[in-house]
A and B are shown apart, each in its own frame.
Chain A
Amino acid sequence: MNSLQKKAWFELFTTTVAVIISGIGVGILVHFNAKGVVGLMSFLIAGLIVGLYSHLREVRLWANLDEREKKIAFRAFVLGAYTFVLFVVIASFATLFLIGGRGRIAVYALPVISLIGIFISQFMSSAAILIRFAREQADGQ
């Protein structure tokens, strides 16, 4: 298993764990009716730390990849981003047409949409890398 495959598995695992923990967190916040700037700021700071850490990790890993692996990683990233956008587009139009233009939706649905979108996006990104290498291995044999 090369470093890109390890990255794909690691990111899929950490994203799954993060989404589960965040889902539980959203449930707890809904239960305690939490609101306000303090919660928002703590969420944003936590998100910033996670984003910064993952970016630095990505930069370090990127330096060890060869041209072919970089191409595969970039394509997987683009696929993940497209999937996320497509999911948000479908979710937005589905809510508009199912509930109606004058309808209203509960705000706790928004973080849930975000979490599902992040999970699907990461799943597609990791799957793209793993399937690519599995195919190459199969061709090699």
Chain B
Amino acid sequence: MIRQKKVAILRLKIIAVSMLAGLLIGLGAGLARNHKFALILGSFIPAVGNLVAILCFMFIPKEQAKISHDERDELIKKRALYISYCVMLSVVVIGLTVPFFMSGPDGMIPSYYLNILLIAILSVTIVTESVAVIFQYGWQEGEKS
């Protein structure tokens, strides 16, 4: 399996685990009526997960072959980047506009809303890019090795 696809799969796994852990721990703390703890853990764990997902390419060794990737791989990478950026920009605009319409112009939101939105944006971008890479290489293993 090509390195780019391995990284994409690992990123998806890390994001899924961190999101699930953050959600469960945050939900558990919320049910125990410790809202501050729920908020901190619920956003901190996915944030760390995002960071690990970004840096996870370091855990996968480079291929020993002289030509590790060709023009097709570059094109796949470019397309995945383009798709993920488009999705990211849409999510940012929607995330910044929905509270305005839902609560009305007089509404107020906590200042940490933007930071939580940032974590969500980062997750969405990584997931979109990874899915785009895996989709373009094909879901089945061993298509190009």
In the bound complex, what is the Cα–Cα distance between A101 and B115 (angstroms)? Answer: 10
CB distance from A68 to the nearest CB of B (A): 15
Return the chain A residue nearest B97 by Cβ: A111
Residues of chain A within 8 A of B121, CB atoms compared: 85, 88
CB pair A92–B96 under 8 Å, yes or no, is no
CB pair A106–B104 under 8 Å, yes or no, is no
A4 lies within 8 A of chain B by Cβ: no
Q: List residues of A whose CB falls within 8 A of some B CB.
A: 26, 29-30, 33-37, 39-40, 43-44, 47, 51, 55, 74, 77-78, 81, 84-85, 88-89, 91-93, 95-96, 99-108, 110-111, 113-114, 117-118, 121
CB distance from B92 to the nearest CB of A (A): 6
In the bound complex, what is the Cα–Cα distance between A43 and B97 (angstroms)? Answer: 9
Return the chain B residue nearest A26 by Cβ: B100
- Which residues in window 81-106 of B have CB below 8 A to A? 81-82, 85-86, 88-90, 92-94, 96-106
CB pair B118–A92 under 8 Å, yes or no, is yes
**B71-82 interface bits toward A, Cβ cutoff 8 Å, 1 = contact, 0 = none:** 000000010011
A105 CB contact (under 8 Å) in B94, B101, B105, B109: B109
CB distance from B110 to the nearest CB of A (A): 6
Known A74-B82, A78-B85, A88-B92: A101·B100 in contact at CB below 8 Å: no
Additional pairs, 16, CB under 8 Å, beyond known A40-B97, A88-B92, A110-B109: A33-B104, A35-B102, A35-B103, A36-B104, A39-B101, A43-B97, A74-B82, A84-B92, A96-B115, A100-B111, A105-B111, A107-B100, A110-B97, A110-B99, A111-B97, A118-B93
CB pair A104–B109 under 8 Å, yes or no, is yes
Total inter-chain residue pairs, C-beta < 8 Å: 112
Residues of chain A within 8 A of B117, CB atoms compared: 88, 92
A-B contacts, 20 listed (Cβ < 8 Å): A35-B101, A35-B102, A36-B101, A40-B102, A74-B78, A77-B82, A78-B85, A85-B92, A88-B114, A91-B114, A92-B114, A95-B114, A96-B112, A99-B111, A107-B104, A107-B109, A108-B105, A110-B109, A111-B97, A114-B92
B111 CB contact (under 8 Å) in A77, A81, A101: A101
B108 lies within 8 A of chain A by Cβ: yes
CB pair A104–B114 under 8 Å, yes or no, is no
CB pair A107–B115 under 8 Å, yes or no, is no
In the bound complex, what is the Cα–Cα distance between A113 and B86 (angstroms)? Answer: 18
B107 lies within 8 A of chain A by Cβ: yes
